[in-house]
Structure 1
Amino acid sequence: MHKISIEEAKKISEIRNTIKDKKEDKRLHAIQLRGQGKSNKEIAEKLDTSIKVVNNWICKYVKEGIEGLLSKGQKGNHRNLTFEQEEEMLKKFRRKRTKKDR
C-alpha cells in the first residue's frame, strides 16, 4: 500500500484550486484523500468510482508524480466541461424548468 505524506496532500490541495478539468481534479482529489489517511475503498466510495481505478491513480502518482495524473492531449472527441461551463449550462436548464413549472 502506497503512502502519501500530509505535505504532498497539502501541495495537491493547492494545485486542485487551479485545476479546471474535472477528471484531473477527481484524480488529484483521490491522492489528497490518501494523504489524509483514507483507504482505497473509502476514496472509491467518496468519488463514486471503483477501488481498482483508485489504486491505478495512486500507483500512477507514485511512479510519475502529479504529471502522471494530468490529462495528456487525447485524440478524438472528449467533451469535458470545466466547472464553470457545467454550472452555466445547468443554470440554463434550471431557468427553463422554472418557467415550465409556473
Structure 2
Amino acid sequence: MQTTSTNICERMGRSQELSEFKRGTVIGCHLCNKSIREISLLLNIPQSPVSGIITKWKQLGTTATQPGSEQGQRMLKRTVHKSHQLPAESVAKDLQKLMWPSD
C-alpha cells in the first residue's frame, strides 16, 4: 500500500514546483512551531521539500525560486571535471561569462 506522500511525489515529479501559496503556508506553519513532519502531514507534501523551503527561507529570506542558480553549479562541475588542471581564475571567468553574459 502506498502512502499519500508517495503518491504526491509521483504526481509532482522533480521538475514541478510548489505554488507560492503552498510555500507560504509551509513558512506559516513553521512560524507556528510545527515540526517538518507535522507540516508534511498537514499539507500533504513530502518532508524533503518542506525542509528545503524552510532552509531557503532562513538563508535568503524568501521562498521564491532563484533563476539560474542550478545552471551555474552544473556548468562549474562540468568545467572542472573536463580539465582538472585549469587555474581557478580561468574557471571563475568562464562561470562569470555564463551567469552574467552582458558584463
Give the TM interval when normalised to the shorter protein: 0.3 to 0.5
TM-score (norm 2): 0.44
TM-score (norm 1): 0.45
- Greater RCO (Cα-Cα under 8 Å, separation 6 or more): 1
